[in-house]
Every structure is written in C-alpha cells, then in structure tokens.
Amino acid sequence: MHFLPRVETKIAMKSGSHSISKKIKHMGNSNRFKTMILQAGLISAIFLGASSFSTYTSNKEKNTQFLIKAAEINLEEIDLGKLAQQKSTMTDVKELGKMMETDHHQSMNELIALADKKTIILPTSPTREAQEAYTKLAHKSEATFDRSYCDRMVNGHKEAIALFEKESKESNDADIRKWATETLPHLHIHLEHALACQSKCEKM
C-alpha cells in the first residue's frame, strides 16, 4: 500500500513528459511551417523584383533605340538638306532642303534635351548608310539629283512617320510619347512638300 503513490507519481510523470514532448513536436512543426512560408515569400519577392527590373530594362532599351533612331534621322536630314540647297537646280527642291535643315535642326535640339533628361547618349554623326546615301547623291548629275533627293525624302519620311506614330501610342514614357506626338505634324508637312517636289520632278 505504501508503493501506490509512487506508481501514480511515475504514471503522472510519464503522462506529463509525453504531453511536453507533443508540445515540443508541435512547436517544431509550427516553426518549420513558418520558415517555409517565409522562404516562399522571399522567393516570390525576389521573382517579382527580377521581373520588374527586367521590364524596366526592356522599356529603357526600347526608349533608347527610338531616341537614337530619331537622332539618326535628324542628322541625315540636316546633311542632305544642306546638300540639296547647294546642288539642286530647282527652287522647290532648294526650299525643301532648307526646310529639312531648319526643322530637323530644331528637332535635334529638342531631342538632345529629352535624351539628357532620360540619361540617354545620342549619336553625333550620321550612320554609315546615311553617309553612303549622301555620297551617292553628291555624285549625281544636276539632271538626276533632284529626283533622287525627293525620292529619298518621300521614302524616309514615310518610314519616320510610321516609327513616330508607333512610339506616340506605345511608349511607356510620357515625355517620349508627348515629343513623338508633337513631332508628327512636322513630319507630315515634310512628306507633303517632298511629294509635291517629287511630282514636279517627274513632269520634267
């Protein structure tokens, strides 16, 4: 009879030990679950951050490509406009050349300011293709220069209008969209004058 309390005590101790063990195991499982949640959250944050950075980089590259292309257009039109004023025998073509030089020079100044704001470096000289076109036109005879120059102005401005219209609608940058939109009317006027000169050249 004296041993019964000791048995009950041992049973109680065993029961308590088992309960504590279950609690510890439950806490361990809970901590592991919390750790998994934290890891999943961290992975998601890294993925979303990488995705956002990738989108930013892609948009930056598109903006850079457009501004560089716009600069190349301006540089070519300025040089060819000067050449037309020197070489053409037609008043209308000389005036077209003067318009190209003046308007694209102004456009280039605006573009430089925009590129500076966006920390984008622009080219300062025409592309090799533009330089080759200049050389070919410079070696044209007076009889063929006007038609060749007007043809290039028509084709070039059709391409420029398509480029600027796309950028005015799709660019993610509000400043670039605004500049592209404001430049478009001038490009349309240039195309109209180029088409008129082209038509006169065809009749000669």
Which tens digits make up the pLDDT trace of 64-122? Answer: 999 999 999 999 999 999 999 999 999 999 999 999 999 999 999 999 999 999 999 99
Helix (H) or strand (E) holding 60: helix 4-87
Helix, strand and coil percent figures for the chain, each rounded to 5: 90, 0, 10
The pTM score is: 0.73
pLDDT computed for residue 142 by the predictor: 86
Task: Give the three-state DSSP class for 89.
Answer: coil
pLDDT computed for residue 44 by the predictor: 58
pLDDT digits 0-9 by tens, 131-155: 999 999 999 998 899 999 999 999 9
115 token code pair: 């590129």
- Domains parsed from the chain with CATH numbers: 60-203 (1.20.1260.10)
Nearest CA among 19, 22, 42, 18 for reference residue 30: 22
pLDDT digits 0-9 by tens, 189-200: 999 999 999 999
Give the span between the Cα atoms of 139 and 160, in whole angstroms.
25
How far are the Cα atoms of 63, 73, 96, 111, 191 from residue 173, in angstroms, in the given order? 8, 20, 32, 14, 26
